[in-house]
Amino acid sequence: MVVPEHVRAAKAETYSIVTESKLKNLDRHQLLALYAIAKRLKKDGTAYVNTGDAEKTYAVTCEEHNEKPRTHTMFWNYLKKIESAGFINIKLSGKGHLGTTQLISLPDIPAEVMGDKLEELLR
């Protein structure tokens, strides 16, 4: 069975835009937000995480790294910056989702690999 991690790994092997130098251009809270997304995708084993779950995981991740989580608006700004850098894709949810939310995916790298790189950078 092919799962989202397999697809991300195949894409990373053919053409990955994720480099350590590009990650170093993100500030600490942007790295924490991206790390939270990678952790949640790895844990759930899904292709997407919704913004609400990502923000909750971000708050826990901040506490684990002795940082105070930023506001919802700041978190949303972090997501837009991370998306413009090419690390994530954000799309509007469609049918099958309660209400309107945004879905976040890691298109170019397995969540586990991204998580490991970010964990190293955040130390």
Residue environment code for 91-109, b if the CB has 16+ CB neighbours within 10 A, otherwise e: eeeeeeeeeeebbbbbbbb
How much is the pTM?
0.83
- Residue 46, C-beta contacts closer than 8 angstroms, at least 6 positions apart: 4
Domains of the chain: 4-118 (1.10.10.10)
The pLDDT tens digits along the chain (123 residues) read 877 776 666 665 555 566 778 888 999 999 999 999 999 999 988 889 999 999 999 999 999 999 999 999 999 999 999 999 989 999 987 766 566 788 999 987 889 889 998 999 998
Residue 29's nearest CA partner among 62, 1, 56, 2 is 62
